[in-house]
Structure 1
Amino acid sequence: MLRKKIRIIPILFLLPSILFLVTFVYIPLVQNFYNSFFDFSVFSPEKTFVGLENFKVLLSDKVVPVALINVFLYAIISVALQVGFALVLAYILENKFFRKVAPFFRVVYFMPVMISISVIALLFGFVYNPQMGLLNSFLELIGLESVAKAWLGNADTAIYAVIAMSQWQSIGFIMMLFIVAIQKIPNELYEAADIDGAGNIRKFFSITVPNVKEAIFVNTLITVTGSMLVFNEPYILTNGGPGYSSITMSVHMYQQGFVKDNMGYASTLAVMIFILTAVLALIQIRISRTGKDD
C-alpha cells in the first residue's frame, strides 16, 4: 500500500501541468486543425465544410512564399546575432579582465528585454524616420547621405529594419542564458589552458563552446521557433508593408483571420506554422543530439 502511494505522488505533482497543457495547448491545437477544413466567420456560429479547399488556396497564395522567405531570413540573422554574438558577449563579460565592469554591461544589454515591444516600436519609429530620424541624421553626419532612405517605407529594407529592432531587444536575454552556462564551467579548465599558453580565442573555441553546447542548442531552438512565430515587430512597425515585403506568417494569419474575417484559411495558415516549427525543432534536436553521451 505504501509503495502504491509513493508511485502516485509523482503523478499528482505532474497532473496540474498535464491538465494545463491539454487544456491550453493540445485541445486548441486539435480544434484549429479541425477548423482548417471549414469556411467560417469569427462571429458566425455556422461553419461550412470545404474539405481541402483551404489547403489548395494555401498552395496558390502568393503572399505565403514572401512570408516564408522573411521568416527564414529572420531566423538566419537571429541565430547569427542572438546566439552567435550573444555567446561572444557572454564570454567577454565573464573574462576575468572585465569582471569589475561586467555587472554594469549586463544591465545595459539586458535592459531592452524589459521594455514593452510597443515602446520599442515607437522608439525605432523615430530612429527610422526618413526626415528627422536618428539613423539618417547619423549617416548624414558622417558623410553617407547617399545611404540614407525611408527604411520602413522601402520594400528592399523594411524587413531588415524590422529584424534589426528585434535583435536589439533580444540579444541581452540570450546573453544572460549563456552567462549562466559559462559560470558552470569548472575554472580549472581555464587555469590549465593558461598554463599551456592558450589565448582567449583558443579558450573560447576549445573550452567555452564545447561546454555550453546544451545552452547553444536551447538558445538556437528558442530563437528559430520565435522567428517562425514572429508577429509583434512587423505588425507594429510596418503591418507587413510596404506591400507584402515585410510580412511574416503570423501577420498574414492575423490579417486573414481578423481583418478579412476568413477564419478557416487563417486556421490553415496556423496549421502550416505549427508543422513548419515542429519540423525545424525536430531537425535541430536530431542534429544536436543533445543530452546524449558522446
Structure 2
Amino acid sequence: MSVFELNQVPLLSRSALDRADHLRGDAHALKEGWATARLLRVGRRGAVRYEAGALVWESATELSAEPSPDAVFLGVRDGVHLWAVRDRDLTGELRDLRQLADTRIDDFTAGVLATALALINWHAGAIFHGADGSPTVTAKAGWSRVTEDGREDFPRTDPAVICLIHDGGDRVLLGRQHSWPPTMFSLLAGFVEAGESLERCVEREIREEVGLDVRDIRYLGSQPWPFPRSLMLGFCALGDPGQPLVFSDGEIAEAHWFTRDEVRAALALGGWPARPEPGPATATGDETNKLLLPGSVSIARTIVESWAAGDAADSAVG
C-alpha cells in the first residue's frame, strides 16, 4: 500500500458555521430573528464586500421588514441569524472566495462563503421544476423550492473526483487544461457519472484524460466546491511513468511527471492566480519557466502539499 494522507483539513471543509437546520422550517423563529439578523450581499461571480480584514454584514431589515424570499438562511452565530442575498449591483471593496483564500481567512468566513455561494448558485438554476418545468418558489428559508402543487426540490450537489497520481516514489503527474496559462498545472478531476462508483470514476477519468491506467486508488478527503455546486472527493493513485500519455477526450492540453523537488519549489511560489502569467511551460525546473500550482482554496493544493511533505520512502509500495 502507498502510505500518503492529508496533512490538514482542506480549507472549505473546516467550516465553523452553526447551520441551525432546525430553524429552517420555523417561520415564527425566523421572523423573530430577522429583527437582529445580519445580511451578506453576494455580487457577480460570488464577490462580497470585504473591508478591514472581515466580511461586511448589514442589518437584514435594510433589505425588508420580514424574512425575504430572495434571501437564504445560512445559520446562527452568537445567537444572531445570518442570511445572504444575491446583489448583482454590489459595489465597494469586493473580493471573491478564491482571492480571500490566499489571505488566510478564518474557518467561519470560509464556511459562510461556501454555503452562501452553493445555495445562491443552486437557486439561480432551479426556478423551474425538473420534472415538468413548473415554476418553483423558495421554501424553508432558502433550503428548498416547491411547486404550486407541493412538490419539493432540494439544493443539488454534484460529486466530482480529483486525484493525485504518483509513481510510488518521487514523481507526480500533473495536467494543464487548454484554457489555463502555460505553466499552470493541477491534479486530474472529473464528475461522477450515473451508476458509477467513486473508484471507477477515478479510473475512467484518468484513462479518458491522459490514457493512463492506475491502481491502489485511495480516498483522502473531501471539500465543498461552490463553483457552482460541487463536492470534490480527493484520491491518490499509483501510475507508471513509462506508460505513454494519450489525451483522447480533448480536455487536457498537456501533462508531465514532476519531481518532488520541482513541486516543492512551485508550492513556495504561492498559488495561481496570485502570480502573473509566465513563459512557456516545462517539466525541467527551468528558472524562467516556473511551475505554478492551485491556490489554497482548492483541495488540490492540500493534496499536493501533503504528498510533497513526504519523501520517496513514505510513498513507496510495500
TM-score bracket for this pair, using the shorter chain length:
under 0.3
| Greater share of residues in strand | 2
Greater relative contact order structure (CA < 8 Å, 6+ sep): 1
Greater helix proportion: 1
Structure index of larger Rg? 1
With normalisation by structure 1, the TM-score equals 0.26
